[in-house]
A and B are shown apart, each in its own frame.
Chain A
Amino acid sequence: KAGVTQTPRYLIKTRGQQVTLSCSPISGHRSVSWYQQTPGQGLQFLFEYFSETQRNKGNFPGRFSGRQFSNSRSEMNVSTLELGDSALYLCASSLEGSPDTQYFGPGTRLTVL
């Protein structure tokens, strides 16, 4: 069974640009969550999608947005990039109501110059 895949794995952008990251969940998993990981702030929850609806949202500015498609694939978008957005962005998928089935992808390393 294929794991969670994230594309691209590495990305370099400059301040002010926008970026879109993609996540393909494990087959059958309809819940997709996004996290930001930085050395200073650790792992922070961005948002969670289920059945194409945002169900939970973390404490991030509106520049961070996401969506989920009917096949459960998800994208997150960051507009007007800032230097502080440099981080590892992790996607996780799980079965509904079953946190023991949450699996993380390898992440997308975003560097903002």
Chain B
Amino acid sequence: QQQVKQSPQSLIVQKGGISIINCAYENTAFDYFPWYQQFPGKGPALLIAIRPDVSEKKEGRFTISFNKSAKQFSLHIMDSQPGDSATYFCAASMNNYGQNFVFGPGTRLSVLP
């Protein structure tokens, strides 16, 4: 019940295209859903996050769509760029008691020039 599932495992997109990564969770107590971006040799960095009281959040080229009833959320990267090539992790947490994130397995995104 603590698992967060993520797909696809890897994704190849042409420059300018849309990248879509999907995640699903089981535990309805989760109330914070971030996406992290990780480059080789670096720690993950927070990209964008959403709480279940909204269905969509947009920051620049990055958008989270959240479906509470389906217990699913997704990351959309518009106008994908080669610099977006990285591994993306979705995560979930119950923020009422400290920082304890459950991460998805990750998606390796490659954006071709």
Contacts and interface: CB of A to CB of B under 8 A. Distances in A.
B79 to A, nearest CB: 25
Q: What's the interface size class on A, roughly?
A: 20 to 34
B37 to A, nearest CB: 11
A90 interface: yes
Contact of B46 (A4, A90, A100): A100
Contacts, number: 66
B107 to A, nearest CB: 11
Interface string B45-66: 1100100000000000000000
Contacts of A61: none
B91 to A, nearest CB: 8
Given A42-B103, A50-B98, A56-B98, A100 B49 contact: yes
A106 B89 contact: no
B113 interface: no
A33 interface: yes
What 9 A-B pairs are tightest by C-beta distance, nearest first?
A: A104-B43, A43-B103, A56-B100, A55-B98, A42-B105, A56-B98, A33-B99, A104-B44, A48-B98
Interface of B: 32, 34, 36, 41-46, 49, 89, 91, 93, 95, 97-106
Interface of A: 4, 31, 33, 35, 42-45, 48, 50, 55-56, 58, 90, 92, 94, 97, 99-100, 102-107
